């Protein structure tokens, strides 16, 4: 059996002596290694943190609300006399507005005008054209002449309602060429043409009506005379009006008034005054004759007589609680103003001097389009 006691005794002796000297270098090396490892670990952690911050900065998306960085302008650095480099002062250049912030870019585009109204108008016109085409088809299918004339008249009235004046006149001219016997229809046709401004067409229609009655159509003759006055054909107008007066045995007040107007236009003042005086005997409330006669008296130098006539007319209207026509008031004012001006210039009895022309002549009246042949009172033609 081994003897271990001396071994134990020897170990205790080493610790206290030479064995400690062997372990000291190992301990120092180990401590240095541990210190170096700690330093390296701290450096590694710091490096890793820097790398992580850089990566996050690179992958981070730019903010939508961040403002655009201003541009920096300026020249290169220059060297001073002392040898130092001095960088020029930087200035911020204005940043041009981006497309998103530009007022032009954010402006709402103009809205195209709506075509709804235009389409409605086209629809209305198409509907009107369809209606007129249907009426023309009815006219073509009509077998009776009177029925055909009635439908044509209906078509003309509809064209006038639609404000298609030119087309209406064309239709009336076609009707005037018809060879049917219808003096009343041609008379009314002439009235419509005269009211629409087609004087020549009205003349043809009136003459056809007179011809179909073998000259015995006083109202058509009166209206024919009025239209001829408008055309300046005074001789023909006088013949037509004189025939109308004779056929009524001189009792046609409207024809006498228009005949007096023809005399006035031809410079026959005395004949005009006689015709207007006869007109007032037949029809005392004839406004046109009253105005024309008052002006004629003033033209002849008797302004007081003209004013008395106008005042008497106004008194009769007042007694009947009727409204005084505007023409009476206007003409009275004109005569008074002219008489006062003439009296101030000449310092004598007032004398009215006015220009005699077709524009100052009393207006003639033409019969209206009543759609039927109506007899008027006192032999007058229908008012326009």
Of 180, 248, 235, nearest to 208 by C-alpha is 180
Question: Residue written as tokens 């007109």?
Answer: 279
What number is the average pLDDT over the span 113-121? 62
pLDDT level of residue 346 (50, 70, 90 thresholds): low
196 near 165, Cβ under 8 Å? yes
Q: Are 135 and 154 contacting, i.e. CB atoms less than 8 angstroms apart?
A: yes
Please report which helix (H) or strand (E) contains residue 92, including its range: strand 91-92
Q: What is the pLDDT of residues 219-262, one digit of tens each?
A: 999 999 999 999 999 999 999 999 999 999 999 999 999 999 99
Q: What percent of the chain has pLDDT over 70?
A: 64
pLDDT at 115: 62
pLDDT at 267: 94
What percent of the chain has pLDDT above 90?
41
The 3-state DSSP class for residue 362 equals coil
Task: Give me the CATH code for the 251-361+378-384 domain, please.
Answer: 1.25.40.10
Exposure string of 236-268, with b = 16+ CB inside 10 Å and e = fewer, is bbbbbbbbbbebbeeebbbbbbbbbbbbbbeee
Asked whether the predicted pLDDT for residue 127 surpasses 90, the reply is no
Q: Which residues contact 216 (CB under 8 A, 6 or more apart)?
A: 247
| Residue 329 to residue 310: CA distance in whole angstroms | 8
Structure tokens at 352: 């009215």
**Residue length, the chain?**
384
What's the mean pLDDT when you consider all of the chain?
Answer: 76
Q: What is the pLDDT of residue 76?
A: 56
pLDDT value of position 307: 94
Nearest to 198 by CA among 258, 252, 147, 156: 156
DSSP state of 70: P
Tokens (6 digits) for 9: 């005794």
The band of 145, judged by pLDDT with boundaries at 50, 70 and 90, is confident
Give tens-digit pLDDT for 254-293: 999 999 999 999 999 999 999 999 999 999 999 999 999 9
How far is Cα 349 from Cα 241, in angstroms, rounded to an integer? 37
Across 4-31, average pLDDT = 56
Write down the pLDDT at residue 381.
40
Q: Using an 8 Å Cβ cutoff, are 175 and 149 in contact?
A: yes
Residue 376: other Cβ atoms inside 10 A: 15
Cβ atoms of residues 185 and 146 within 8 Å: no
The answer on pLDDT for 7 being more than 90 is no
pLDDT at 37: 74
Fold: same for 129-209 and 251-361+378-384 = yes
What pLDDT shows up at residue 70? 47
Give residue 298's pLDDT band: very low, low, confident or very high (50, 70, 90). Answer: very high
Residue from 314, 316, 270, 277 nearest 293 by CA: 277
- CB neighbour class for 89 (10 Å; exposed up to 12, middle 13-18, buried from 19): exposed
CA distance 213 to 207: 10
The CA-atom distances, in angstroms, between 266 and each of 40, 121, 146, 338 are 136, 51, 42, 24
Q: Kindly report which listed range (125-129, 141-145, 332-336, 364-368) carries the lowest average pLDDT score.
A: 364-368
- The per-residue pLDDT for 377 is 32
Q: Write the pLDDT tens digit of every residue in 300-338.
A: 999 999 999 999 999 999 999 999 999 999 999 999 998
Distance (Å, whole) CA 227 – CA 333 = 30
Highest mean pLDDT among 17-31, 34-48, 77-91: 34-48
- Taking the C-alpha atoms of residue 297 and residue 281, their distance in angstroms, rounded to an integer, is 17
The pLDDT, as a whole number, for residue 351 is: 43
The residues spanned by each domain of the chain are 129-209, 251-361+378-384
At residue 78, the pLDDT reads 61
Most confident of 66-75, 123-132, 306-315: 306-315
Higher pLDDT, 237 or 118: 237
Which range scores top for mean pLDDT: 54-63, 65-74, 240-249, 356-365? 240-249
Q: Which CATH superfamily is domain 129-209 in?
A: Tetratricopeptide repeat domain (1.25.40.10)
Q: How confident is the model at residue 44 (pLDDT cuts 50, 70, 90)?
A: confident
- How many C-beta atoms surround the C-beta of residue 208 within 10 A? 21
Residue whose tokens read 């001219």: 173
Per residue in 348-378, pLDDT (tens digit) is: 544 443 333 334 445 555 544 343 344 333 3
Structure tokens at 57: 């900065």
Closest by Cα among 355, 366, 5 to 202: 366
Q: What is the pLDDT of residue 10?
A: 40
Give the lowest-confidence range in 193-197, 218-222, 341-345: 341-345
Q: Give one DSSP letter per residue of 15-27, joined into a string.
A: HTTHHHHHHHHHH
Q: Judging by DSSP bridges, how do beta strands 91-92 and 72-73 pair with one another?
A: antiparallel
């Amino acid at each position: 059996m081994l003897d271990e006691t001396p071994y134990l005794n020897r170990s205790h002796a080493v610790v206290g002596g030479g064995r400690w000297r062997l372990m000291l270098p190992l301990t120092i090396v180990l401590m240095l290694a541990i210190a170096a490892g700690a330093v390296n670990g701290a450096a590694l952690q710091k490096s890793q943190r820097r790398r992580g911050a850089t990566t996050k900065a690179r992958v981070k998306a730019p903010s939508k609300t961040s403002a655009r960085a201003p541009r920096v302008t300026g020249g290169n650095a220059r060297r001073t006399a002392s040898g130092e480099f001095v960088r020029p002062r930087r200035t911020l250049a204005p940043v041009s507005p981006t497309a998103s912030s530009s007022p032009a870019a954010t402006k709402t585009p103009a809205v195209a005008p709506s075509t709804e109204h235009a389409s409605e108008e086209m629809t209305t016109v198409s509907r009107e054209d369809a209606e007129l085409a249907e009426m023309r088809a009815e006219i073509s299918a009509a077998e009776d002449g009177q029925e055909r004339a009635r439908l044509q008249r209906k078509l003309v009235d509809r064209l006038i309602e639609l404000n298609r004046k030119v087309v209406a006149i064309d239709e009336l001219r076609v009707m005037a060429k018809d060879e049917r016997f219808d003096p009343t229809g041609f008379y009314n046709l002439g009235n419509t043409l005269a009211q629409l401004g087609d004087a020549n067409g009205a003349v043809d229609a009136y003459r056809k009506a007179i011809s179909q009655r073998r000259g015995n159509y006083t109202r058509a003759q009166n209206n024919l005379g009025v239209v001829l006055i408008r055309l300046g054909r005074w001789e023909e107008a006088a013949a037509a009006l004189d025939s109308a007066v004779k056929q009524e045995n001189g009792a046609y007040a409207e024809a006498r008034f228009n005949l007096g107007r023809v005399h006035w236009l031809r410079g026959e003042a005395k004949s005009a005054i006689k015709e207007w005086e006869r007109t007032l005997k037949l029809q005392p409330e004839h406004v046109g004759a009253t105005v024309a006669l008052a002006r004629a008296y003033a033209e002849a130098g008797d302004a007081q007589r003209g004013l008395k006539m106008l005042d008497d007319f106004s008194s009769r209207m007042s007694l009947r609680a009727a409204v005084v026509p505007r023409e009476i008031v206007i003409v009275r004012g004109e005569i008074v103003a002219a008489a006062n001006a003439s009296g101030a210039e000449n310092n004598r009895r007032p004398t009215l001097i006015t220009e005699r022309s077709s524009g100052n002549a009393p207006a003639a009246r033409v019969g209206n389009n009543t759609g039927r042949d109506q007899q008027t009172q006192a032999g007058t033609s229908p008012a326009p």
